[in-house]
A and B are shown apart, each in its own frame.
Chain A
């Protein structure tokens, strides 16, 4: 199984477009393909791939529950907690479940066994099919701060296929790392503007820290300046594909259409990209 992640420092550069269209061309090339939407804060893959979700399951983490009758107010739980999710104030232990990272420290340290762990749901994972593409996405419940547990659940629901394509969230911090760390290759999508270049550099730093092989896809390739080209050349980073700034692409995108279907003349861009990635 080949695992390819599509990521970017900057948002809105075309991650979902690249990931969904790659899945599309691969699935029509005789490969078994899965598309994982790990952008669980703002998942959009379903808008383009239009999957039929067959199964949906809540995702939860274990958070502490304190039995007041058994608690001797020693305060050890509050001392070990690094996230201020449990504190002993006066004659009461207060739990802030939304701050809890589910490390289990408070339960382990409690000398009276007053702490048990209860499941707290924070999102959903849906699985299904988009034609012959296996589809998995996660959705963080609005108001929840931590997306990594939902991302982990999306990855755990991934089927065994020839090609696994992960659509990562934007940025360079923990949700992105969680999405891409077990992949074989990362495609960084950017655009040829100063913002695109700055955020590409951050994304490159990130994949280098993770020691993952990577290459760049340039979207809206004919706007802006030559900064991204020059940077890639200087750093010997492969530029695997360029997608032009075509208003028809933007319009098809606005309607939730796949480029490969709405504008078949662009299929070759994704076919070639797929060939470069899997050869």
Chain B
């Protein structure tokens, strides 16, 4: 079984549209949406949720007002400025303390050292995990709560679940839609994966962000394939990106042309390859190449 992760560095280069098309071309495989704080793959693959569970990525502190002696120890030791002191209003109460849930990093230091044991520190639900069925096979996806942390943990859970399903059902490929950037969710989505496809675009921003993603895949020693989406927007830069890919020991997987049919497909909740268009042909060629190098046994096109 192979895990192929699609990432981009720069956002909005077409990761999700490509992953949906690959899922369509692959026949049955497990699809995982690891972009847990702005997931979009479900808008194309239209999953029917068969299983749903809460995700807890950590704990959060909460001051129990009636037990608080207002000693101020918590505010003194919190490194995240997450303890807010409120002075008495109209002399009705003494100074009170509360936790700003947005600033709280969930370290628990305040609760541990509170002399009055007035801080509750318990696990919080900060997302949901879904296992679904789609027209292209099983799908694992998630939704991180708004303003929540620990997206990396949720990404790892999504991958774990997707792999387990692939094993149970004897499917040889797990296709993972990653998130933009190079930080915690991206690292969680690529560590230990077999193959990373970077989708970029022929812009200076795309080139700059690709360089950082290439450093990341080198850092984690994962083979990198690069595909240039909307390559005809700037042909010179497209060639430059391909040269740099080679120089860094990566592989050029293919080019996809700029095609308004891509947006049309999205509007109709279709994969690009479910519509007849130039970009669809480019994606078929790209997939054939990735399939050859990836050696996904069960794949039929």
A47 touches B216 (CB 8 A): no
**Which B residues, 206 to 227, have Cβ-Cβ distances below 8 Å to chain A?**
206, 208-209, 212, 215-216, 219-220
Q: Does B202 contact A (CB under 8 A)?
A: yes
Per-residue CB contact flags for chain A residues 213-242 toward chain B (1 = under 8 Å, else 0) read 000000000011100000000000000000
B107 touches A82 (CB 8 A): yes
Q: Which of B91-99, B146-154, B165-173, B276-284 contacts A (4 or more CB under 8 A)?
A: B146-154
Name which of B146, B215, B219, B234 has the most chain A CB atoms within 10 A of its CB: B146
B229 to chain A, nearest CB (A): 10
B147 touches A173 (CB 8 A): yes
Q: Which residues of B contact A9 (CB under 8 A)?
A: 37-38
Please measure, in the bound complex, the distance between the C-alpha atom of A9 and the C-alpha atom of B16, giving whole angstroms. 14
Q: Write the chain B residue with the least CB distance to A40.
A: B183
Please measure, in the bound complex, the distance between the C-alpha atom of A52 and the C-alpha atom of B162, giving whole angstroms. 47
Q: Write the chain B residue with the least CB distance to A208.
A: B146
**Which A residues, 105 to 123, have Cβ-Cβ distances below 8 Å to chain B?**
105, 108-109
Please measure, in the bound complex, the distance between the C-alpha atom of A174 and the C-alpha atom of B202, giving whole angstroms. 29
Q: How many residues of B contact A (CB 8 A)?
A: 63
Q: Does A155 contact B (CB under 8 A)?
A: no
Please measure, in the bound complex, the distance between the C-alpha atom of A143 and the C-alpha atom of B182, giving whole angstroms. 8
A105 touches B148 (CB 8 A): no
Q: Does A202 contact B (CB under 8 A)?
A: yes
A195 touches B43 (CB 8 A): yes
B109 touches A104 (CB 8 A): yes
B11 to chain A, nearest CB (A): 1
Please measure, in the bound complex, the distance between the C-alpha atom of A195 and the C-alpha atom of B266, giving whole angstroms. 8
Q: Which residues of A contact B263 (CB under 8 A)?
A: 193, 223-224
Q: Which residues of B contact A127 (CB under 8 A)?
A: none
Q: Which residues of A contact B233 (CB under 8 A)?
A: 247, 250-251, 254
Please measure, in the bound complex, the distance between the C-alpha atom of A78 and the C-alpha atom of B212, giving whole angstroms. 33
Name which of B11, B144, B216, B220 has the most chain A CB atoms within 10 A of its CB: B11
Q: Does B77 contact A (CB under 8 A)?
A: yes
Determine chain A's interface SS by DSSP, over half rule: loop
Q: Does A256 contact B (CB under 8 A)?
A: yes
Q: Does B137 contact A (CB under 8 A)?
A: no
Q: Which residues of A contact B187 (CB under 8 A)?
A: 143, 145
Please measure, in the bound complex, the distance between the C-alpha atom of A109 and the C-alpha atom of B113, giving whole angstroms. 9
Q: Which residues of A contact B269 (CB under 8 A)?
A: 194
Q: Does A101 contact B (CB under 8 A)?
A: yes
Q: How many residues of A contact B (CB 8 A)?
A: 57
Q: Which of A64-72, A164-172, A260-268 contacts B (4 or more CB under 8 A)?
A: A164-172
A80 touches B237 (CB 8 A): no
B181 touches A173 (CB 8 A): no
Q: Which residues of A contact B186 (CB under 8 A)?
A: 41
**Which B residues, 1 to 19, have Cβ-Cβ distances below 8 Å to chain A?**
8-13, 16
Partner of A103 from the list B80, B102, B215, B267 (CB cut-off 8 Å) is B80
Q: A10-B38, A11-B180, A255-B203 are in contact. List 14 more A-B contacts (CB 8 A).
A: A11-B13, A12-B10, A12-B180, A42-B11, A82-B108, A103-B105, A108-B109, A108-B113, A143-B215, A175-B183, A193-B263, A193-B267, A194-B40, A195-B266
| Residues of A participating in the B interface, judged by any CB pair closer than 8 Å | 9-13, 16, 39, 41-42, 44, 47, 80, 82-83, 101-105, 108-109, 140, 142-147, 169-175, 177, 181, 193-195, 198-199, 202, 205-206, 209-210, 223-225, 247, 250-251, 253-256
19 contacts between A and B (CB under 8 A): A9-B37, A9-B38, A12-B180, A42-B10, A42-B209, A47-B208, A80-B108, A82-B59, A102-B79, A104-B79, A109-B112, A143-B216, A173-B37, A173-B151, A195-B43, A202-B146, A254-B201, A255-B234, A256-B203
| Residues of B participating in the A interface, judged by any CB pair closer than 8 Å | 8-13, 16, 37-38, 40, 43, 58-59, 77, 79-80, 102, 105-109, 112-113, 144, 146-149, 151-152, 179-188, 201-206, 208-209, 212, 215-216, 219-220, 230, 233-234, 237, 260, 263, 266-267, 269
